[in-house]
Amino acid sequence: MSIVDDHLTANYARYPVAFARGEGARLWDEDGNEHLDFLAGISVSNVGHCHPAVVAAIQAQAAQLIHVGNLFYTEPMVALASRLARHSLGDGTRVFFTNSGAEAVEAAIKCARKAKQGGDVVSLNGAFHGRTYGALSATPQESKQAPFAPLVPGFRSCEPTAAAITAAVDDRTAALLLEPVQGESGVWVLDDDVLVAAREACDRHGAALVFDEVQCGLGRTGSFWAFEQTPVVPDLMTTAKGLGGGLPIGALMAGPAYADVYAPGDHGSTFPGGPVIMAAAHAVLDVLADEALLARVRDLGEHLRAGLAELPGVGAVRGRGLMNAFDLTEGGAPDLVRRALLEERLVLNATGPVTVRLLPPLVVTAEQVDEALARLTRLLTP
């Protein structure tokens, strides 16, 4: 790698690879080496790198209008809000755009607290909701929170079980925030009984049930939203990552009961809803609207999990659609991920000492899934 890093802050442990080009599920580094991408920028490049429709939409919109701000309407913004609202939480849903997942979570927390005129936020152990102060306060991980104390008051967490949720949510609770599939802690699909208990507890105590679909939404699990494969519909939902085809975006969808909570002046941000990003997101939604693509995500996910379960040294395999992880019986996940990148040119991610996560672009081919399994077999065979 020719790049010398003297000036970036040290908060990422980056690998010694610099990527220069991408197409579908493939990346090329600056030396021209081809890599197979089974991470997709952590579930961002869901429609693949540089999808031609996304590139064309960005180019066309950039030549017309790039920014005007949120004191005015643009057609791409209004149309995208309408598409997201119509395909999420039901009639009357309204959308607030953000630049990132964490900001969408902030918007959800503020909305729920305003509706309840205060109140606590309950999140689940193992959750990850982002790095801004509200989102971090809802991310009950000592290593991420401790250096930045004091956090925002009024945040509690409980185990992701029906009994614990039922006990934790009470009349003071403004919001119960959860990921239907926990991503950063190693891909844990929450059971239906947990989600049903969450819905019932929120209904009983007048709290907002917030689903964070920043990672698990937008086709990743084989349905457009992860909640569509569960018996539960949330009151508020966040999305981000994959929505902009690689450009920064997030959104809060406020279902009918919360759609009118925000009033002028309550909340805002300079960049969100910008026409170029909106144009990219329209192109992404066009790609993901294809039922056959979602069916393929489910099929390829099953095929991938079956293949992973056969690999030497692999214990538990879990996931839904193309959001998957496996545990190594002897640990060493970070080392395997490093070797996969440097020796086999396969891009993966370790969520902890024993767990490897796979989030390929949803347009990955069956041959590429088999190729990834072959590369992993070579790495894991003693």
Question: How buried is 154 (Cβ within 10 angstroms: 0-12 exposed, 13-18 middle, 19+ buried)?
Answer: middle
Active-site positions?
128, 212, 241
For tokens 């997709």, name the residue: 40
- Build a one-symbol-per-residue string for 94-123: x at contacts with ligand PLP by CB under 6 A, - elsewhere: ------xxx--x------------------
CB of 349 to ligand PLP, least distance (A): 11
185 binds ligand PLP (CB under 6 A): no
Strand partners, 22: 27
For ligand PLP, the closer CB: 225 or 368:
225
Tokens at 24, concatenated: 């579908």
183 binds ligand PLP (CB under 6 A): yes
- Build a one-symbol-per-residue string for 65-94: x at contacts with ligand PLP by CB under 6 A, - elsewhere: ------------------------------
Neighbouring residues of 137: CB distance < 8 A, sequence distance ≥ 6: 121, 145, 151, 152, 155
For ligand PLP, the closer CB: 248 or 275:
248
Closest CA to 274 of 111, 68, 121: 68
- Which residue stretches of the chain are H helix? 40-43, 52-62, 75-86, 101-116, 133-137, 142-145, 162-168, 192-205, 275-288, 291-309, 333-344, 366-380
128 binds ligand PLP (CB under 6 A): yes
For the range 21-26, what are the long-range contacts, defined as Cβ-Cβ under 8 Å and sequence gap of 24 or more?
21/50, 22/48, 22/49, 22/50, 23/48, 23/49, 23/50, 24/48, 24/49, 24/361, 24/363, 24/364, 25/49, 25/360, 25/361, 25/363, 25/364, 25/365, 25/368
CB of 360 to ligand PLP, least distance (A): 16
Which residues ranging from 288 to 347 are in contact with ligand PLP (CB under 6 A)?
Answer: none
221 binds ligand PLP (CB under 6 A): no
CA–CA–CA angle 124, 127, 133 (5° rounding) = 100
- Range in contact with ligand PLP (rule: CB under 6 A) among 23-31, 176-184, 258-266, 326-334: 176-184
Distance CA 46, CA 107 (A): 24
For ligand PLP, the closer CB: 77 or 247:
247
- Range in contact with ligand PLP (rule: CB under 6 A) among 195-203, 210-218, 279-287, 323-331: 210-218
Out of 26, 116, 129, 282, the only residue in the binding site for ligand PLP (CB under 6 A) is 129
Distance CA 363, CA 245 (A): 12
- Range in contact with ligand PLP (rule: CB under 6 A) among 178-186, 200-208, 227-235, 276-284: 178-186
Distance CA 76, CA 96 (A): 14
Instruction: Return the residue nearest ligand PLP (CB atom).
Output: 101
Distance CA 367, CA 154 (A): 49
Which residues ranging from 28 to 57 are in contact with ligand PLP (CB under 6 A)?
Answer: 42
For ligand PLP, the closer CB: 140 or 183:
183
CB of 248 to ligand PLP, least distance (A): 8
Out of 198, 240, 259, 376, the only residue in the binding site for ligand PLP (CB under 6 A) is 240
For ligand PLP, the closer CB: 236 or 376:
236
- The site for ligand PLP (CB under 6 A) is made up of 42, 100-102, 105, 128-130, 179, 183-184, 212, 214-215, 240
